[in-house]
Amino acid sequence: MFAKFLFTAALLLAGNAWAHDYQLGALKIIHPWTRATAPGAAAGGGFLKIENTGDADRLIGAAADVSAVVELHTMVMDGEVMRMRKLDKGIELPAGATTELKPGSLHIMFIDLKAPLKEGTNFPLTLKFEKAGEIKVDVPVGALGAATPAKVHAH
């Protein structure tokens, strides 16, 4: 009987260890992740999805101890060149929609990294929303050059 209890407890704990989703009111933050950075790299990007089942909201900021500055960015075409731009007004989260922050698009930028982001580690990130408030999420660091969160399994 005790062995069955231990097995069940282990399964429950393992499920929590693999959880990547967070809920803040009507906002569901899905699988935050980042890529490892090379030694000496000054910046890194953060990615996730936000599913909004309620009224429109806006991601207005983020904070993390891994860098001196954290900004919200997008990528835009400037003539023939793709350039990164800071989003001073944040990222709109329409009602009933899912917004994806991904490489080459909307993303969180960690600027002036205090140390390289190392594959297999995690760090806390606080997301700040205009209406919903704040939530702290855990960000696993995947391989250098990882293109999708499926490649990230740090816990």
- Domains in the chain: boundaries: 19-146
H helices of 34-91, in order, are: none
The C-alpha atoms of residue 34 and residue 111 are separated, in whole angstroms, by: 13
The pTM of this model reads: 0.83
Check whether 77 has a pLDDT greater than 90: no
For 19-146, CATH number out of 3.30.565.10, 2.60.40.1890, 1.10.3720.10, 3.30.300.30 equals 2.60.40.1890
139 residue type, one letter? V
- 93-130 pLDDT tens trace: 999 999 999 999 999 999 999 999 999 999 999 999 99
| 12 burial level (CB within 10 Å; 0-12, 13-18, 19+) | exposed
- 70 DSSP β-pair partners: 110
| Three-class secondary structure of residue 42 per DSSP | coil
| Three-class secondary structure of residue 149 per DSSP | helix
Check whether 15 has a pLDDT greater than 70: no
DSSP string, 33-70: EEE---TT--EEEEEEEEEE-SS-EEEEEEE-TTEEEE
pLDDT at 20 (0 to 100): 82
pLDDT at 14 (0 to 100): 38
H helices of the chain, in order, are: 2-17
pLDDT at 146 (0 to 100): 82
Check whether 66 has a pLDDT greater than 90: yes
92/149: higher pLDDT: 92
Mean per-residue pLDDT, 21-38? 98
Please report where in the chains the tokens 């960015």 appear, as a residue: 73
The C-alpha atoms of residue 108 and residue 133 are separated, in whole angstroms, by: 17
